[in-house]
Amino acid sequence: MKSVLCLSGWGQNSQSLEPIFDSKQFFDLSISSLDYSSFACFNSLQEKLTNHSNPTILIGWSLGGQIAIRLIAKKILSPKLLILIAPPFQIIKDHNIKAGMSLQVFDEFYNNFTKSSNLGLKKFSILTAMNDVNSSKIAKTLDIKKDNHHQLSYWLEELKRTSLFDIDFSEMPRTLYFHGAGDMIVHIAQHHYFLERIKNFRLEIFKKCGHAPHLSYLDCIRNTIKEEIDLYV
């Protein structure tokens, strides 16, 4: 049976991507999720997955997408299809990337989160939903992680220091990429860095959409994923 491994976004329930595949279209897929935030560091995650059975399809949202790319580049996982939802190429803007978050804004969010994790996650939900045609609904229904907030601080730091400029993209499989044009967390312009580096690449951008296109455009995303599976998996 074809298998799907899901890596959700930072601060979200690890199983929050599974409903994408909760459809008659995907009856023949085995779906599982990996809670990377339960690991002490990226190296621990990498070691755990060294002998992991290889998924047919790897899907990652936001930080989960960035982690998926790193695991493929390190040859820890080698799926036939990679699905990315609004992944950051580099979250902090610098001389390499102008369309990113300022260090000051990131650090302010990080400090506020460490002081009050629940308030920080609430603010993050609002940012995720901003500029989306269904913003009110998304902000209320995001599947927020309710435990292990201490480890979320580490993964925020990991996000801050990670850049994909040093990654070898030659190992990337067929890649399906979704992004909302109004994303307030990962600037839409960052898709260019992936487009330039991944040879077998399909880009889908949604208007009036924020950082969670799979929540606002679920049916469209399901249909597109089904097309890709039929063609490439």
CA neighbor of 82 nearest in space, from 67, 94, 93, 98: 67
Q: Taking 90 as the threshold, does the pLDDT of residue 141 lie above it?
A: no
Take residue 179 and report the two structure tokens written for it.
Answer: 């992004």
Torsion angles phi and psi, residue 208, rounded to 5: 50, 45
Edge-to-edge strand ranges of the sheet holding 57-61? 29-33, 2-7, 57-61, 81-85, 174-180, 201-206
Take residue 156 and report the two structure tokens written for it.
Answer: 């925020």
Averaged over 56-75, what is the pLDDT?
A: 98
Domain that holds residue 72: 2-232
User: Token pair 């997955």 is at which residue?
Assistant: 49
Q: Taking 90 as the threshold, does the pLDDT of residue 4 lie above it?
A: yes
* Cα dihedral: 133, 134, 139, 141 (round 10): -160
- H/E element, 228: helix 218-232
Q: Taking 90 as the threshold, does the pLDDT of residue 9 lie above it?
A: yes
Residue 28 binned pLDDT confidence (cut-offs 50, 70, 90): very high
Q: Taking 90 as the threshold, does the pLDDT of residue 53 lie above it?
A: no
Residue 150 binned pLDDT confidence (cut-offs 50, 70, 90): confident
**CATH code (residue 73):** 3.40.50.1820
pLDDT at 148: 75
- What does the pLDDT look like over 72-86, one tens digit per residue? 999 999 999 999 999
Number of domains the chain contains: 1
Distance CA 152, CA 180 (A): 24
pLDDT at 51: 84
- What does the pLDDT look like over 99-108, one tens digit per residue? 999 999 999 9
Distance CA 107, CA 84 (A): 26
Q: Is residue 37 within 8 Å of residue 152, measured between CB atoms?
A: yes
Q: Where are the alpha helices (DSSP H) in 148-217?
A: 149-161, 191-197, 213-216
Torsion angles phi and psi, residue 60, rounded to 5: -140, 135
Specify the pTM.
Answer: 0.97
